[in-house]
Amino acid sequence: MMKLLTFIAGVSVVAALDNGLARTPPMGWLSWERFRCNLDCKNDPDNCISENLYMRMADIIAAEGYKDAGYQYVCVDDCWLAKSRDSNGRLQPDPDRFPHGMKALADYVHSKGLKFGIYEDVGSETCARYPGSRGHYQTDALTFAEWGIDLLKFDGCNIKPEDFAEGYSEMGFYLNKTGRPILYSCEWAIGDIMHGRKANYTAVMEICNTCRNAIDLNDQWESIVRIFNVYAKDVGNFSKIAGPGGWNDPDELVIGDFSLSPDQERTQMALWSMWAAPLLMSVDLRNIRPESKNLLLNKGLIAVNQDPLGVPGSVRMTIDQFSIWTRPVIPKGSVATVFFNQQTGGTPRNISVPMYLLVDGTASHYLITDTFTGSKLARLAYLQSLTVRVNPTGVAMVKMTPA
């Protein structure tokens, strides 16, 4: 949230209003993990980074239930740019892959009732060596506003880490100054971490709507586990800083891609929902598996992710190889709970935990609902135990509501 803010070009301290966005975690689609920097539109026209790809994804999101479920942002990532700015110093898209320009693409996405996100970098160049925003923050912010951009993913390549604070703050200021509501997604914290510096989550959340705090996610179970460990350790207490207007971002959802098992896909969706993380799909929606699509559209999981209390979940306890996470949700006194079986082999296992260790209130009884199915599982007294059965690398997820 741009509540305070900061210095511009190291000269003065100015005030900028809260931008009012991301009151719940943003939901949408982002091209990076699935399509990367595919520039080969001659031989692979359906999968290259081009206006055609984003238009087709917008069509599907609008027509096949994703928009109705809450997914609203269609986001471009790196490699959309031409190799140089125009004669006026403004960014321009690659003319062959985006022949109608970014405003026309934004207008198309908006015509579907969706929002349009774009990518740039706080440094002199993007990670893929296209023109970055450093030295052009004001110009680029105005350009994005004129194009009708709704979200800016601002990467952290090709800049000295000691310049992160100034660069991210300056772009935040100029985005706010345009008067257009542009959700600001920052990679400031992970940039600091990757350079061996301590992330200042308080500073980041004062100007950014989302805060990347883990390295890029790959379509691999090991990558999910690596990010899980970041959130389990919670170095810097970042989970306590996030809330409406500013969310921690563990990176994209790879549900529906190639490597995860059905249980592992359920685990990613459950954990991201518990963490109040942005839900940004990175999958080819044209040929997604039905079970993966149903998981991405699951009403119970999305309700937890979008819970208006906005309190991210945290590790409640660890028992053997089970990691148990809880998150307070509405109605008052209710708790969402995930039981994550970290075993990578073997057979499904049961785990039993007394209710009084899982809830913060002292209601006499709780109704237990399966988050995935909506089924009512039990009515348990405060001193009774909840027992669930969980597959290896899988989860059980329930909502406990005072009876």
The residues annotated with a catalytic role in the active site are 155, 216
Cα–Cα distance for residue pair 196/260, rounded to 1 Å: 30
Question: What are the distances in angstroms from CA 33 to CA 87, 104, 258, 355?
Answer: 33, 25, 11, 39
Torsion of CA 94, 98, 100, 101, to 10 degrees: -60
Long-range contacts of 91-99 (CB under 8 A, 24+ apart): 91/120, 91/131, 91/136, 91/140, 91/143, 96/41, 97/39, 97/41, 97/48, 97/49, 97/50, 97/51, 98/50, 98/51, 99/51
Asked if 126 contacts 155 with a C-beta cutoff of 8 angstroms, the reply is yes
Tell whether the torsion through CA atoms of 261, 263, 268 and 273 is positive or negative. Answer: positive
Residues 6+ apart with CB under 8 A from 4: 15, 16, 206, 207
Distance of CA 232 to the CA centre of its chain: 17
3-class SS at 308?
coil
Q: CA geometry: angle at 61 spanning 25 and 313, to 5°?
A: 20
Rounded-to-integer distance, Cα 231 and Cα 34, Å: 24
Q: What residues contact 162, with CB distance under 8 A and at least 6 apart?
A: none
Q: In which residue are the tokens 């079970």 written?
A: 291
Q: CA–CA separation, 304 vs 302, rounded Å? A: 5
Q: What residues are paired with 116 via a beta bridge?
A: 74
Assigned token pair, 361: 């209130």
From CA 267, how far away is CA 20, in angstroms rounded? 31
